[in-house]
Structure formats: C-alpha cells, structure tokens
Amino acid sequence: MSNLVQDKKDTDFFSSLKESPSTNEFIKGLWRDNPVFVQVLGMCPVLAVSNTAENALAMGLATAFVLLMSNLLVSSLRNFIPKQVRIASYILIIATFVTITDYAIQAISVELHKSLGAFISLIVVNCLILSRAESFASKNNIGRSMLDALGMGVGFIFALFCLGAVREVLGNGTIFGFSLFPEAFQEWIVMILPAGGFFTLAAWLLIFNIIQKKGSKT
C-alpha cells in the first residue's frame, strides 16, 4: 500500500520525465531506494571516508565505477554463471574492478591514494555492490543493469557527499580545502573522527525520513 503511494509521489515529483521503466531504474537509486539513506548499505566506507568532501567524492566515484563495471559484467555473464558458484563469481569480478580502480587512483594522484588508504581495497566487501549484482544485475539485461548501477552509484555519491560536506565544514572549517570561517572558528574535531560520521549520518537519516514521510502524506 505504502509502496503504491510512494510510486505515485515519484511520478509527481519527476513529472517532467515520462514514466518509463528505464527512467525508473535510474531514478530509484537516487531517491526512493537510495543505497545509503534508505537501504543503509555499505556503511563502512560511508562512515570512514566521509571526513572531507573531497575524500567522499573520490570514494563515491570509485565505488560507482566498480558498481557500474561489475553490474555490466555480471549481467552479461548471467546465463553463463551456474547459481551454485554465483557469489564466488561475483566477488571475483568485483575484486578485479577494485584492483583496477586502486591502480587507477594511484596513477591519478599519490596524495589521494594516501588519504583513501585501505578503504579502496575494502570496496570489495561493500555489500551495496554485491547486493546489486545478486538482486538486480543477475536477473536483468545489460541495459537495465547499467541504468540501475548508474542510479545507485549517483545516489551513493550524493549521500557520501552530503556527509562529507557537513563533516568537513564543521570539523575543519573548510570545504574542498577552502577556508569558510574566520580564524576564530573553533573546529569540532569530533566531526572528523568516526563518531562524527555517526552523528552526521543520523542527522541526514532524520531529515531524509521527515521528507519522505511528508511526501507520502500528501
């Protein structure tokens, strides 16, 4: 029942877009099924690497890339992989793209690689990626799987950025390294630490739920 209402609201919200299954595949990851704010998946990198806006964006992009590529491969091999070994196959595919991403980030900037540290390798066990492979890409054609991955990826970047921006502004007084406040501003160091990640996530979840509740009432 609530789902029906939700769908109706989405059509209103994006009324400029024609209702079609493909736009729906993309849009659902951005908002209705947002991987962080609704599905609460992949919390380890969300909490750990969202201490600055730049780190959050980089981590979001890396995860989105892995998600897109693994969905593509899983979807194109979905009739080739027997179901008994599917999880092992997915992990192998995901780990490969994570390794590729790791090399790519090192080749882009040593500094960035230094600040993301161990969390790049940990994308392998990000349950967001495995859950999209298992629950979507393995059952849908390549086009739809790509759209799904794009939507989820952008939704993940959006959510990480929301956290990273707030934490950087409060914890460091900067955004993308640019100073926002006068010298006298006392940084809230707790926001940079893991505990600050929990606070910020809780605040965003609250805001998100209020918006969604309001939307479903009307």
Partner 1 sequence: MNLNKTQQNPANTSANSFSMLRAMVGIGILCALMIVLTYEGTFGRIEQLKAEALEKAIFRVIPGIVKSSAFQLDPDGNFVEASEENTTPMIYAGYDENDRLVGVAVEASGQGYADILRILYGYDPESQKIIGFYVLESKETPGLGDKIEKDPNFLANFEALDLSLNDDRSAVKNRVIPVKKGAKENAWEVEGITGATISSRAIGNIIGESTDYWVPVIYKNKEKLMLNSEE
Write out the residues near partner 1 by the rule CB under 8 A: 51, 77, 80-82, 84-85, 88-89, 92-93, 95-96, 99-100, 103-104, 106-107, 109-111, 114, 117-118, 171, 189, 192-193
Nearest residue (CB) to partner 1, 192 versus 205 = 192
Distances (CA, A) of 114 to 33, 49, 53: 32, 12, 16
CB 204 → partner 1: shortest distance, Å? 20
Nearest to 25 by CA among 142, 148, 158: 148
The answer for residues whose C-beta is within 8 angstroms of residue 44's C-beta and 6 or more apart is 119, 122, 125, 126
CB 152 → partner 1: shortest distance, Å? 22
CB 109 → partner 1: shortest distance, Å? 7
R_g over Cα of the chain = 18
Nearest residue (CB) to partner 1, 21 versus 82 = 82
Nearest residue (CB) to partner 1, 57 versus 77 = 77
**Structural tokens at position 172:** 């460091």
